[in-house]
Amino acid sequence: MRVYLLQRLLIGFITLLGMSIVIFVLLRLAPGNIVDIIFASAGYVDPEDKKALIHELGFDKPLIAQYGSWIVHLFQGDLGKSYHYDVPAWEIIKPRIPVTVELGVLSILVAIALGVPSGIISAVRQDTWLDYTFRIFSLAGLSMPAFWLGMLVILLLVRNLGWVPSLLYISPFENFKDHLLQFLFPALAVGYRSSALIMRITRSALLEVLREDYVRTARAKGQRETLVIFRHALKNAILPVITVIGIEFAFLIGGLVVTETVFNLPGVARFLVEAILSRDYPIVQNLVMFIAVIVVLSNLIVDFLYAWLDPRIRYAG
Amino acid sequence: MKEGKWLQILRRVGRFLRRKPLGAAGGIIVFLLVFTAVFADFLATKDPTRTHPAQTLTPPNRTFWLGTDNLGRDVYSRIVYGSQLSLLVGLGSTLLGSVIGGIVGLLSGYLGGKVDLISQRILDIMQGLPLLVLALVMSAALGPSVWNVILAISVPLVPRAARIIRASTLTIREMAYVEAARALGSKEGRIAFHHILPNTLGPFIVLTTAQLGSAILVEASLSFLGMGVPEPYPSWGRMLSVSAAEYAQKAPWLVVFPGLAISLAVFGFNLLGDALRDLLDPKLRRQ
Amino acid sequence: MKKYPKMFFVLMGISALGLLLSSQASGAQAEPKYGGILNASHIADIPSLSIHEEATASTVWPMMPCYNNLVLFDPLKKQESMETIIGELAESWEWQDGGKSLVFHLRKGVKWHDGQPFSSKDVKYTFDLVRQAPGMTVKLRVNPRKLWYDNVEAIDAPDEATVIFRLKRPQPSLLMMLASGYSPVYPAHIPPAQLRTRCVGTGPFKMKEHRPGEVLELEKNPDYFIPGRPYLDGIRYIMIKDRATRTAALQAGQVDIAFPFDTTKTIAETLKKTNPDMVIVETSQNVNENILINFEKPPFDNPKLRLAINLAMDRRAYVQAVYQGGGIIGGAMLPKPYGVWGLPEEELVKLPGYGDPVKQKEEAKKILAELGYGPDNPLKVILSTRATASYLDPANFVIDQLKQVGIEATLEQVETGVWHPKVTRREYTLAANRTGIGPDDPDANYFENYKCGSPRNYSGYCNKEIDELIEKQSQTLDFAERLKLVQEIDKKLQIDGARPILGWALDYFAMWPYVKNLVPHQSVYNYGRMQEVWLDK
């Protein structure tokens, strides 16, 4: 098992390293850079000043050197300076991480709360109208653009109640109720969408298990159906469900990009778009790396859980 | 003989409709989408780019079936033409992603060894970011154009396609009939093509249907964030971006209809994909 | 010293100007109240906090309360002109040497937010920095308004409380530019690079906190040099990226005032419907949309073809389509009644593209046919524009207008960061553009946008005769005479198609009725000081 885990760890590390190269190269391919953006507000570019600024920001160094210094600093915990705001990148990123993490966790909780029960019911009542209803409901969530859902929610709230959740971030220590209200709607919008996959996997995993011999035996022995499902079937169907929850959590952040924008939450995901548009390399690089780390970590956790839950891996190696 | 084959196909479709009503509904939606895109010139009632300065933000009426936008352009005709773009991006990215993924998967499964190891790591990297985040960075890097958006959206499909093909290749490679073919002197390439590909078709179809839906969604999100396919192509996602948001309260039709179009199209692909998954995954079949 | 008007004058002024479209007359009101935090909507993304290094309302609007100018357009008067300029750090000023020296007498006892004393040294330093005077060792990273002070020969500070601007030739407009929100006085003891992230000013408010992309918070400066000001305890600029969300924030009362030029006529109508007591003030922005035609690039080096393009644009339709009627047509200077210098209607109708649209489109087609273009051989062009909504709507309109005379234009969307370098290098054929002009003043507009060789003269228009006229109007002291020259130039510019103006958007500045003494001006960059604003809550 240790060999297996070490192997996974190594792979995760290689992935991140490769990712850093890809991100770095992509950003340098982009037309226009921060120097142009800084001059954009002036309405014209003075070639002399531009050269000076390029030098000041270090863009005249070879790409390899720029990449190297980024990675070296990254390992030292130094995220560089935001060109756009002229302050250390970490100062801008740091307060945004808890917002995104909290929204992510709340969304995944919503997704589990919606997806697992509806998946169970759908499986148990396969091909009944209940099954169809739940499947349509969950697929509809998967089909609607998250930002559209968010727009509609805000529109309906403001038109009918003259109220919207606070658009200025409220810290939980300041006012817990308002804080929760602020996160509730975006979490519902994102969680609804993520629940679709969880529901689908729960359903199919359960369907599969329900056909296994031991479940049939239990049924044949006349055990009550609910007992059969909860004692025998669910226990064995849980593995793929956990896997998919892990994967969903990692990929949820994609959905947050637009949702944070619509609900004006000061999170990492929304900031990524703004930083990309202003070509603020240090911020984009580090934010994308941060997202990649979350993805790789979630995958690792899933791997570990798997190893721990699945006896075939637990006892091997 | 020919007639018999047609009847067989018809019977199959009929069975699918009866067994999978949801999938059938999805199929109909997808068919409608394709139909709209192909016959857009006939279905549209107005030039989608023509402005009507005297009739901006008119509610749906007999001339403008779904109302007009802030420049007085016909929303209905724009949605009709928008289907072309959605389909183009969906099909384009799916085709591109599965072809590249397929080749990588075949090669790494069939050749194994170092090629396999290296390509697996590269695929890991491609899968290390959420689709939208990767598409965002890529479309920023490559600049806004239809092809760049297609390219960006196709990337995340590559590893998934490659994995499916690789796994099937690995199993099938060991199977007897490939051995037999090899013994009979078939060229390696022919073996791969004739024996391995047909056997991976099932999971592949499931994957691509899902991809078609999510490609349309990602294109919409990119356009909403202002990084998608540029004007003048009417795009559903861009119809929902800034201007629509600005006028949403006065002219809700600007937000409702393009959003519905996106949701319906994606819903169609999802329904179809779900049904196909059930059908092609033998483990889920009711006994 | 020009005193601030008494309160009842102010209130009378506001109601007399008929600014309030609101049904509730705000006639009889009590004394101004102290206290409260003003929540202001902000369109997000402040590039840097340094006003002198930026040319966007995103920076000027929230940073104006932090600083003071030498002189300022009276915040309480709607239309800015030479007559509404009042002293801030300057107690009084006078012209000497036949208009070649401008002498300022400064206030005494003013302190910077960090406690250092303010003096004439700071004024000399600031404007030497902006005009990049020889011998200045510190430099601004980006210097958008260097041209404004091109005519300044030297700045002297003979004593602590006197500053003299010495000019190469008379230029009455210098005072207008100094009165703009773009002309704050910077502290000489703080390196300008630091002012990108913090604020050390003399203004009514001090910086409290800036969380980029989220909120910028200012607090009352208790040591402000005008006793009894400001009224507010603080201002919070809440950054909301999405426009629909911004509107919702205003409706739900989460913000008290809109961002300048953010409220279109349509949004204003919506606000009025959902919140009937919301105050909407109709005003101009001093921003126009225009077409750039590259004079050097074939086929547009042909003046006939340029004229055809100019004729093809139906200005009145433009105002209807792009602003839903919430805009006005005009030439190069802000039209009346909002602006001071604009061309009157009877002059406008004679210009290409401002008359009968059907006839003028026919004329355009005829020119195109003469040049050999027709249905079988349509002229194909690329229209470039910046990839943001405020540019895309005009661009889409232009493409449709061109199509109607048989020109096939395709759109090239240029990313924000690449836009200005691209048009500065003239790497375009046709472009849809927006031009914001600081103060409503011919010097601030003509020198920058129309003189031969100016970096912001994007189309490459160059006419020696016009250049001479620009110089001449700038030195003309008599207003009526100068107005005549300014309008003559404007007409010529429109006939030459130097930068065909499509239209001027109006702003429908929205605020809750309890916000008092906030008077939007005709130019968005000049009325953000906030020292007179109070909340009736």
For the complex shown, is ipTM > 0.90? no
Q: Look at residue B283 and tell me whether its pLDDT is greater than 60.
A: no
Q: What is the percentage of chain C residues whose pLDDT exceeds 90?
A: 75
Owner of token pair 């020119």:
C367
- Domains of chain A are 97-316 (1.10.3720.10)
Q: φ, ψ for residue B167 (rounded to 5)?
A: -60, -45
Q: What is the mean pLDDT of residues C223-249?
A: 93
- Residue B144 has a pLDDT of 74
Q: Are A311 and A236 in contact (CB under 8 A)?
A: no
Name every chain A residue with its beta carbon within 8 A of the beta carbon of B267.
139-140, 143
Instruction: Give residue-wise pLDDT tens across range A224-249.
Output: 777 777 777 777 778 788 888 887 88
What is the spatial distance between Cα B129 and Cα B218, in angstroms, rounded to a whole number? 14
Long-range contacts of A296-300 (CB under 8 A, 24+ apart): A296/A12, A296/A15, A296/A16, A296/B128, A297/A12, A298/A246, A298/A247, A298/A249, A298/A250, A299/A12, A299/A246, A299/A247, A299/A250, A300/A8, A300/A9, A300/A12
Domain regions of chain C by residue span:
6-22+34-224+512-535, 284-506
Q: What is the mean pLDDT of residues B179-195?
A: 66
- Residue C188 has a pLDDT of 96
Instruction: Give residue-wise pLDDT tens across range C476-524.
Output: 989 999 999 999 999 999 999 999 999 999 999 999 999 999 999 988 8
What is the spatial distance between Cα C243 and Cα C258, in angstroms, rounded to a whole number? 11
Q: Look at residue A158 and tell me whether its pLDDT is greater than 90.
A: no
- Residue B195 has a pLDDT of 64
Instruction: Give residue-wise pLDDT tens across range C99-149.
Output: 999 999 999 999 999 999 999 999 999 999 999 999 898 988 888 888 899
- Residue B194 has a pLDDT of 67
Residue C333's beta-bridge partner residues?
none
Q: Look at residue C333 and tell me whether its pLDDT is greater than 80.
A: yes
Helix (DSSP H) and strand (DSSP E) numbers for chain A: 15, 0
Among B51, B232, B249, beta carbon nearest to C397: B51
Q: Look at residue C189 and tell me whether its pLDDT is greater than 60.
A: yes
State the pLDDT confidence band at C62, using cuts at 50, 70 and 90.
Answer: very high
Q: Tell me whether residue B212 is in a domain.
A: yes
Q: What is the mean pLDDT of residues A22-29?
A: 85
Give the list of residues 6+ apart from residue B253 with CB closer than 8 angstroms, or none: B59, B60, B66, B67, B75
- Residue C21 has a pLDDT of 40
- Residue A300 has a pLDDT of 86
Contact between chains at A45 and C421 (C-beta distance less than 8 A): yes
For residues C255 and A310, the model is more confident at C255
Q: Which of C480, C481, C482, C478 is nearest to C442 (CA)?
A: C482
Number of structural domains found in chain B: 1
Task: For the beta carbon of residue A210, count every other beta carbon within 10 angstroms.
Answer: 19
Contact between chains at B263 and A18 (C-beta distance less than 8 A): no
* Domain at C6-22+34-224+512-535, CATH homologous superfamily: Periplasmic binding protein-like II (3.40.190.10)
Residue C95's beta-bridge partner residues?
C102
Contact between chains at B57 and C266 (C-beta distance less than 8 A): yes
C371/chain B closest Cα distance in angstroms: 26
Task: For the beta carbon of residue B174, count every other beta carbon within 10 angstroms.
Answer: 9
What is the spatial distance between Cα B238 and Cα C429, in angstroms, rounded to a whole number? 26
Q: Read off the DSSP letter of residue A30.
A: S
- Residue C8 has a pLDDT of 39
Q: Look at residue C233 and tell me whether its pLDDT is greater than 80.
A: yes
Question: In one letter, which amino acid is C284?
Answer: S
- Residue C468 has a pLDDT of 95
State the pLDDT confidence band at C13, using cuts at 50, 70 and 90.
Answer: very low
C98/chain A closest Cα distance in angstroms: 33
What CATH number is attached to the domain comprising B259?
1.10.3720.10
Q: Are C240 and C43 in contact (CB under 8 A)?
A: yes
Q: Tell me whether residue B1 is in a domain.
A: no
Question: In one letter, which amino acid is B199?
Answer: N
Q: Are C324 and C331 in contact (CB under 8 A)?
A: no
- Residue A314 has a pLDDT of 56
3-state class (DSSP) for residue A59: coil
If residue C156 lies in a helix (H) or strand (E), which one and from where to where?
A: strand C152-159
Q: Which of B134, A22, B235 is nearest to C413 (CA)?
A: B235
Q: Are B280 and B202 in contact (CB under 8 A)?
A: yes
Across chain A, mean pLDDT equals 84
Q: Which of C302, C283, C284 is nearest to C293 (CA)?
A: C302
Out of A269-273, B126-130, B219-223, C239-243, which region has the weakest mean confidence (pLDDT)?
A: B126-130
Q: Look at residue A151 and tell me whether its pLDDT is greater than 70.
A: yes
- Residue B242 has a pLDDT of 66
**Beta-sheet strands, E only, within C33-89:** 37-42, 71-73, 85-87
- Give the predicted TM-score (pTM) of the model: 0.88
What tokens appear for A233 in the block? 């079937």
Q: Tell me whether residue B244 is in a domain.
A: yes
Return residues 408-427 of C near A (CB < 8 Å): 415-421, 424
* Domain at C284-506, CATH homologous superfamily: Dipeptide-binding Protein; Domain 3 (3.10.105.10)
Report strand pairing: C327-328 vs C501-511: antiparallel
Q: Tell me whether residue B213 is in a domain.
A: yes
Question: In one letter, which amino acid is A45?
Answer: V
**Residue from B33, B86, B163, B224 to probe the interface with A (highest A Cβ count within 10 Å):** B224
Q: What is the mean pLDDT of residues B9-15?
A: 80
Sign of CA dihedral C447, C448, C449, C450: positive
For the CA atoms of chain C, what is the radius of gyration? 23
Quote the domain boundaries for residue B89: 32-56+63-285
Out of A184-198, B8-22, C405-419, which region has the weakest mean confidence (pLDDT)?
A: B8-22
What tokens appear for B129 in the block? 């970011």
Return residues 89-148 of C near A (CB < 8 Å): 141-144
- Residue C22 has a pLDDT of 39
For residues A86 and C14, the model is more confident at A86
Q: What is the mean pLDDT of residues A171-200?
A: 90
Among B136, B137, B286, beta carbon nearest to A126: B286
State the pLDDT confidence band at C20, using cuts at 50, 70 and 90.
Answer: very low
- Residue A3 has a pLDDT of 82
The length of chain B is: 287
- Residue C421 has a pLDDT of 78
Task: For the beta carbon of residue B207, count every other beta carbon within 10 angstroms.
Answer: 23
Name every chain A residue with its beta carbon within 8 A of the beta carbon of C456.
43-44
Q: What is the mean pLDDT of residues B153-168?
A: 85
Q: Between the ranges A56-60, B237-241, C361-365, where is the mean pLDDT highest?
A: C361-365
Q: What is the mean pLDDT of residues B271-286?
A: 70
Q: Tell me whether residue B133 is in a domain.
A: yes
Q: Which of C214, C231, C213 is nearest to C222 (CA)?
A: C231
Q: What is the mean pLDDT of residues C66-92?
A: 95
Return residues 146-205 of B near A (CB < 8 Å): none
Question: In one letter, which amino acid is C13?
Answer: G
What tokens appear for C138 in the block? 């510190």
- Residue B188 has a pLDDT of 63
What tokens appear for C386 in the block? 């910046």
Q: Are B236 and B37 in contact (CB under 8 A)?
A: no
Across chain B, mean pLDDT equals 83
Q: Look at residue C1 and tell me whether its pLDDT is greater than 60.
A: no
What is the spatial distance between Cα C51 and Cα C144, in angstroms, rounded to a whole number? 10
